[in-house]
Structure 1
Amino acid sequence: MSKSPFDESRKNHWRILGKTVVKNLASRGFEALYADTREEALEEVLKIIPEGASVGVPGSVTIREIGAMEALEERGCPVIHHWDPSLSPDERLQKLQDELLADYFLTSSNAVTQDGMLVNIDGNGNRVSGMAWGNNTLIFVVGMNKLTATIDEAISRTRNTATPPNALRLKLDTPCTKTGYCVDCSSPDRVCKALLILERATGGRKSHVILVGEDLGF
């Protein structure tokens, strides 16, 4: 498929906006940078994570889209994740716990506000737990498609843009898989139970944010 003649203007807009958001993230204590492409984003991830370090990867489509899992394993990094369908319930629970204890916690964010706040929603709570506290290094890789103007828009994005496709991916029987948007259900399969707003980087650890000038994840 040929590129639209307007694609470069869109990319330039994302670069300009992305650099503004990077400054705002830095003012909130995050070590932030902008990468034009997923390949550049992966290079930045590999600069941060040394060979042999363990890496916990929770339920993140973005991290898989940039090829981080394979690249890290190739350089000898144990990659811990719970998405393996062959895991027993007990094994999956252990993986969820081990993700949080890895040297690096590598994930994405459901939304980022223009003024530098990160907003995430979770079903099990494992992902937002790893974002809120840890004595390891936290790394977010976030496509510019997840940028919002306000905190209210960010929260809406977590519920109406990120959650329905995730529920569909997991083949869950939730109302949002029928409507396409959140109805604040009471379904036992509900995947939006814990909402986390990181207004600033939390203390006691390094927190990196890599904004990427591509459409990544949900």
Structure 2
Amino acid sequence: MTEHHVWHSKVIGEKAVSKLKKHGFDAFFFSTKEEAIKHISAQFSPGLKVAFGGSLTARQLGLRELAKISDCVIIDHGLPDLSENERLDIMRQELMSDVFISSSNALTLDGSIVNADGYGNRVAAMIFGPRKVIIVAGINKVVDNEEAALSRLKNTAAPMNMKRLNRDTPCAIDGICHDCNAEERGCRAYTILRRRPAHTPTQVIIIGEDLGM
């Protein structure tokens, strides 16, 4: 990344952070993932129930492994070899975690957090249930406004995610949204957080690198 890319990421990231703070979120910008990892892992402690919302970004940062090293209790429906009922039970447990860690499909420069979910577990946990929510996202997910966020969600994040999960949807074939009725459609519950949910302390961490989808 050139110095100009670093500068631009910082300017854009800090602008989004400023708006998010005005909307009640505890927001931070870090230029590198190493700085963000240090900030997040400092919040881990033995016995803390830490849940993960199926985030590729969190996986890229190695947060699950760091939480495990800190002797946290890990709650993660993405573990291999789980039955469907076991996965659903763990999703419900995630709502009662001490810390819920996820990413977002898009963040806006005017301070909104925009997501779509298939089961609804991720967006539900962002709104109410966990004692604290940490949303971590790369600078690639910051867009101008809610209209741009929905466009990013439909035509970038969702198709890539459906392809990653090997879902039988039109967007996993041609990379664009068809607003389909496919049985395996992953965009079923849409949320826009324009202010921090009333009883959910929420950190939003923007990293000046491309992460996730």
Amino acid in structure 2 at the alignment position of 1:115: D
Instruction: Please state how far the C-alpha of 1:84 moved relative to its aligned partner.
Output: 1.9
Structure 1 residue 31 corresponds to structure 2 residue 48: no
Q: Which residue is equivalent to 2:179?
A: 184
Report if the CA contact (8 A) 1:135-1:204 is conserved. Answer: no
SS in 1 for 2:95: helix
Instruction: Please state how far the C-alpha of 1:106 moved relative to its aligned partner.
Output: 0.5
Instruction: Please state how far the C-alpha of 1:169 moved relative to its aligned partner.
Output: 1.2
SS in 2 for 1:181: coil
Report if the CA contact (8 A) 1:105-1:138 is conserved. Answer: yes
Runs of 5+ in structure 2 lacking a partner?
A: none
Q: Which residue is equivalent to 1:204?
A: 199
Q: Which residue is equivalent to 1:58?
A: 53
Instruction: Please state how far the C-alpha of 1:135 moved relative to its aligned partner.
Output: 4.7
Alpha-carbon distance between aligned partners in 2 of 1:168 and 1:131, rounded to the nearest angstrom? 24
SS in 2 for 1:92: helix
Q: Which residue is equivalent to 2:128?
A: 133
Residue of structure 2 aligned with 1:75, choices 70, 73, 92: 70
Alpha-carbon distance between aligned partners in 2 of 1:169 and 1:190, rounded to the nearest angstrom? 13
SS in 1 for 2:192: strand
Amino acid in structure 1 at the alignment position of 2:23: R
- The TM-score, its normalising length taken from structure 2, stands at 0.97
Structure 1 residue 9 corresponds to structure 2 residue 22: no
Residue of structure 2 aligned with 1:108, choices 94, 103, 123: 103
Runs of 5+ in structure 1 lacking a partner?
A: none
Aligned-residue identity in percent: 40
Alpha-carbon distance between aligned partners in 1 of 2:19 and 2:44, rounded to the nearest angstrom? 24
Instruction: Please state how far the C-alpha of 1:162 moved relative to its aligned partner.
Output: 0.7
SS in 1 for 2:122: helix
Alpha-carbon distance between aligned partners in 1 of 2:44 and 2:16, rounded to the nearest angstrom? 23
SS in 2 for 1:154: helix
- The TM-score, its normalising length taken from structure 1, stands at 0.94
SS in 1 for 2:20: helix
SS in 2 for 1:101: coil
Report if the CA contact (8 A) 2:97-2:130 is conserved. Answer: no
